[in-house]
Chains A and B, each alone.
Chain A
């Protein structure tokens, strides 16, 4: 049985699954129920001077009947008094000493205000601090949240202020709404941050009611841009986690699109030491952690990983710049006609949407019939034309029906950068030889 315990900035967490700072970690009652359900830690909903929220606050996009593919919010930080939040943190820590409670903080950008808040949070017993430099809506208009996290100098400065007062590890939460997140992460590291967490939500406008032209989530016919999250953002989060992991030496807590154990495993393989989850809990409740723990253990057992460290960051060396990819690697598509159901989605996708390398079924057909005796139209890959783009395999609705098989080119690996170096040295030619050319 794999050991899911993780060390994060010297703190031990029973597993890498933490509640992210957000509505699920708003009260002691919620956090304790989450710990009972199996969560290893919780980053409290951001504490600061109480605010007033709007109704409504949340928006979602559904895809073809599947609910909440993407989610956004225009909710602000905790609307409860600071002392209530801190008293509850104290109570939770007293009852759950082995679980991690991280206080997420956001105050006005004054040194004394940060010092004061840091002291109070640590006095309440929080294990670590997370600085909310990421909130993209509302608070940023008041000079907080992403207004800090979008400027490397501010990030470094405020991190340094916090470090002056902090006795516990300081995690800086990063906003993705920047050109180069790794630069901000480096600034946090320079300011003394013990860790970074990312990504916070992405600036978004969820859509419109096309009858009233009210944006969503609607607040008396109007709305504002809000923070986008949920399953749809995982690819963005994975990219940013990997780019930060390559840039800084401090630990990373991965956030963004984690709903299942495999999402978490991807974050970890790209360098995250823990993962944080919010939207999936908002959709299904704390119980989802059971399969996260179970599934991740199974996966680790299957691969012989005894601890999270055994595979953390393992995929990072495989994330390269495009210029370092091997241009002499060639794959082409192959259709398994036994599995083909004759939908011809691969044909139309390739013909209209890609590179015209699939022929529709011939008029005569290949004689394949379905259970009702109706003809099944199996398309054909034009192998000499196939550029190996994957599109047909991606749109094929049948598992393993279209596979990409490697074609031996007989050429040694060569990347674009290799080629440029060769050219610079006076060897080779700018364009590769075309088929039939010798």
Chain B
């Protein structure tokens, strides 16, 4: 079944240009000049702003001295996915947003790119910085192979645990492999980081769904504890008439196409509408434009001010020539011969604020209009994938499907721990890493570790604070 009209095919090299690395690797010269700009703050605000507390001034100083291996070690000890975080973190809201250079009236230090520069050095040269700890005889299973699981598994392996990751997908990495805009990171980049974890002796079993391929009873028998890091699932549907027409996609499913297929093989309409205005919606509209779609609409019920996407992301979409239809609500998907032909919308006005303080959109009577498109992508958030846990006694799920955990990331069933999107409802990769590491500490304590790892490693600077 074809789309009604697909985007014209581009020359192969044009696709590569369109999806070229948005923050390309720094040269040695660029990195040194940028690193030299860093003031080497004491008790640095960038570090305090990082969920994984990477000692940013320390790793930047090491770039300056040419100690790239040491620089990468500082990063990866705090965050094993430091390379991808350097690419995908919303740095302007985290480390770079806290950079003192803003107060100085200067450009913030490009922390993300420097971070990637340092880690790329050890990845390129296949330098093994970490080794599995001496075996403590204990075994842990991690369900899912996304950022939370990888971070948890790496910590545990370093401490001597035998760790096996169970992943239902074809290739590991979870969101980092399948769900990040291709101009930020490619699947192959994510897999290099997975290798770092594998090098610690972590076993990764692909295409193995816990509860189906292997039973919970079996897993509980084989492992002393189980970590759940399954992330989120499919994109919510829009609940509109006509949604079953051919050409209606979920955002994550569309992004995934750009990550696992050659760009020229990704199906995209000549005209595309994306519903939603979060960061994932930006990934969708920019990808559609870069794949050759001629008209791409981003449709949002509220106004520009309420847009949840980060400013940096919004700028990307603007630069890509995306058309923004603010205060517009889709009413039905229109089609002919089972394929999408358009989207009927209605104008909204903003009413009273909702529980989160955002003003609710109210449809304006008789303001219906039609946007002619060949493809509609829903980017209104992802649903949970935690249903499979309902058979496990003691694990409690919230109404939205998130797993209930205590401050040590332990679920109602003491043998199970959870972190990342499946527990927090959907945050950044760096949050999943921080939580995955915290869960490893909680799990380690519960399994009676003689070492007290519960306190996160404090920056020595912090300890001197009055």
Contact = CB atoms under 8 A, between A and B. Distances in A.
A342 B466 contact: no
Dominant secondary structure at the B interface: helix
A397 B97 contact: no
25 contacts: A65-B33, A65-B64, A66-B36, A340-B103, A341-B100, A341-B103, A341-B104, A342-B103, A343-B41, A343-B44, A343-B100, A345-B39, A360-B42, A360-B466, A362-B466, A370-B102, A372-B93, A372-B98, A372-B102, A374-B45, A374-B49, A376-B103, A377-B45, A397-B39, A397-B104
Contacts of A231: none
Given A372-B102, A374-B98, A345 B466 contact: no
B466 A363 contact: yes
Contact of B43 (A65, A344, A362): A344
Interface in A49-73: 64-66
Interface residues of B, number: 26
Given A341-B103, A376-B45, A377-B45, 20 more contacts: A66-B36, A341-B102, A343-B39, A343-B41, A343-B100, A345-B41, A347-B42, A348-B42, A360-B464, A362-B466, A363-B465, A363-B466, A370-B98, A372-B93, A372-B98, A374-B45, A374-B97, A375-B45, A397-B39, A397-B104
A319 interface: no
A371 interface: yes
B32 interface: yes
Contacts of B103: 340-342, 370-371, 376
A121 to B, nearest CB: 45
A163 B93 CA distance: 74
Contacts of B312: none
B45 A64 contact: no
Contacts of B44: 343
B102 A359 contact: no
Nearest to B103: A341
Closest 10 CB pairs of A and B: A341-B103, A64-B36, A348-B42, A344-B42, A372-B97, A341-B100, A343-B41, A374-B98, A65-B36, A65-B33
Interface in B352-398: none
B108 to A, nearest CB: 9
Interface in B26-44: 29, 32-33, 35-36, 39-44
Interface size class of A (residues with CB under 8 A): 20 to 34
Contacts of B100: 341-343, 370, 376
A341 B109 CA distance: 14
B101 to A, nearest CB: 8
Interface centre among B29, B36, B45 (most CB of A within 10 A): B45
Contacts of A374: 45, 49, 97-98
Interface centre among B32, B33, B101, B103 (most CB of A within 10 A): B103
A66 B102 CA distance: 23
A360 B39 CA distance: 17
Contacts of B39: 343, 345, 397
Interface in A226-251: none
A305 B103 CA distance: 39
B51 to A, nearest CB: 14
A337 to B, nearest CB: 11
A155 B45 CA distance: 60
Contacts of A347: 42
Contact of A345 (B40, B98, B102): B40
A65 B61 CA distance: 12
A64 B64 contact: yes
Interface string A331-357: 000000000111111011000000000
A344 to B, nearest CB: 4
Dominant secondary structure at the A interface: loop
A282 interface: no
Contacts of A66: 36
Contacts of B466: 359-360, 362-363
Nearest to B57: A343
Nearest to B98: A374
Interface in A362-394: 362-363, 370-372, 374-377
A345 B100 CA distance: 11
Interface centre among B44, B97, B100, B465 (most CB of A within 10 A): B100
Interface string A311-341: 0000000000000000000000000000011
A208 interface: no
Contacts of A397: 39, 104
A398 interface: yes
Contacts of A344: 41-43
A66 B39 CA distance: 15
Nearest to A396: B39
Contacts of A377: 43, 45
Nearest to A62: B32
A64 B97 contact: no
A348 B93 CA distance: 27
Contacts of A342: 41, 45, 100, 103
A342 B43 CA distance: 9
Contacts of B101: 341
A66 B103 CA distance: 24
Contacts of A348: 42
A327 to B, nearest CB: 32
A342 B45 CA distance: 8
A63 to B, nearest CB: 8
Contacts of B29: 65
A345 B41 CA distance: 6
A342 B99 CA distance: 9
A372 B100 CA distance: 11
A165 to B, nearest CB: 53
B114 to A, nearest CB: 13
Contact of A360 (B45, B98, B465): B465
A64 B43 contact: no
